[in-house]
Amino acid sequence: MQIDIIGVPIDLGADRRGVDMGPSAIRYAHLQKKIEDLGHTVHDEGNVEVPIAEMCKITNPKLKYIDCIVPMSRRVSGAVSTSIQAGNFPLVIGGDHSLSIGSVRGAARNRKVGVIWVDAHADFNTAETTPSGNIHGMSLAALCGLGDKSLVQLWDESTPVIDPKKVAIIGARDLDEGEKRNLREAGAMVMGMEQIDRYGMVACLEKAIARVSSDVDGIYLSLDLDSLDPEHAPGVGTPVPAGLTQREAHLACEMIGETGKLIGMDVVEVNPILDVQNRTALLAVDFALSALGRRIWKGI
């Protein structure tokens, strides 16, 4: 495959600064060379233009920096759509999870897409349910048609980008009450840490993949590094204890890649300011490699 690396250095969707440096940290971890070593062709498209926070204003405390996030999302959507239309695989590196409002939308342009959202959070809030006003906690809801019109319809779309019943959230363990109501009403699948602990990652992934892969043109994987336990991934903006192990996250990426239906991927929320010797960025690269075909060990 040709892999198109698309950087999105945004930290407007979150409270903590620093994830805007995530794309640089991931590239510094030899992302391009390691993908090329797998046999893929790689083209680094550089970074999508993103204004810094000092250039933006909070006009609505329930939708912080929305006036800057919407144009960014349009640019990301265009970059991802262009990549897929050319027959390539977009690998979007961030940056906070608000970028997925654009990336998943671009992947879903003129096609039906199932989404696997690996995250400690469901990102299914709206302006009515959010306790923080941070848009990185609203991205999946917006893609499913919930929330502020300017996020739900970046242009003039009349339908949700994604069918909520074609969404599976993996590794969730920090959900707000209003967000839980939104998820129940929408019908999205949530495989939280309790289910993973009870039934194992393989069983949960098999169920999630079966849910999102039927009657679609492809699967989009959006991986938030805070899905991992902070012991493994310290460099994230919103760490939550009791998360995925490093091996569970690898297995998730491997199994999703093995479906043959993966058409694009986000790797988000790497915060080098909070990291230890770039450990989280190195993990981000490893997980991308697992989705793109690398196997740690498959026996003799």
Residue of 4, 123, 163, 275 with catalytic role: 123
Q: Is 138 inside a domain boundary?
A: yes
pTM for the full model? Answer: 0.97
Q: How many structural domains are present in the chain?
A: 1
Q: Is 117 inside a domain boundary?
A: yes
Q: Is 157 inside a domain boundary?
A: yes
Active site residue 40: no
Q: Is 67 inside a domain boundary?
A: yes
DSSP for residue 29:
T
Q: What is the pLDDT of residue 42?
A: 98
| Residues of the domain holding 88 | 2-291
Residue 158 CB partners (closer than 8 Å, separation 6+) = none
Q: What is the pLDDT of residue 297?
A: 65
Active site residue 286: no
Residue of 96, 163, 174, 269 with catalytic role: 269
Which of the residues in the chain have pLDDT under 50?
A: 300
Active site residue 121: yes
Q: Is 300 inside a domain boundary?
A: no
Residue 159 CB partners (closer than 8 Å, separation 6+) = 145
Active site residue 43: no
Q: What is the pLDDT of residue 137?
A: 98
Q: What is the dihedral of CA 191, 197, 200, 206, to 10 degrees?
A: 0
Q: What is the pLDDT of residue 300?
A: 47
What tens digit of pLDDT does each residue of 163-222 get? 999 999 999 999 999 999 999 999 999 999 999 999 999 999 999 999 999 999 999 999
| 3 state SS of 191 | strand
The CATH number of whichever domain residue 66 belongs to comes to 3.40.800.10
Residue of 119, 163, 179, 275 with catalytic role: 119
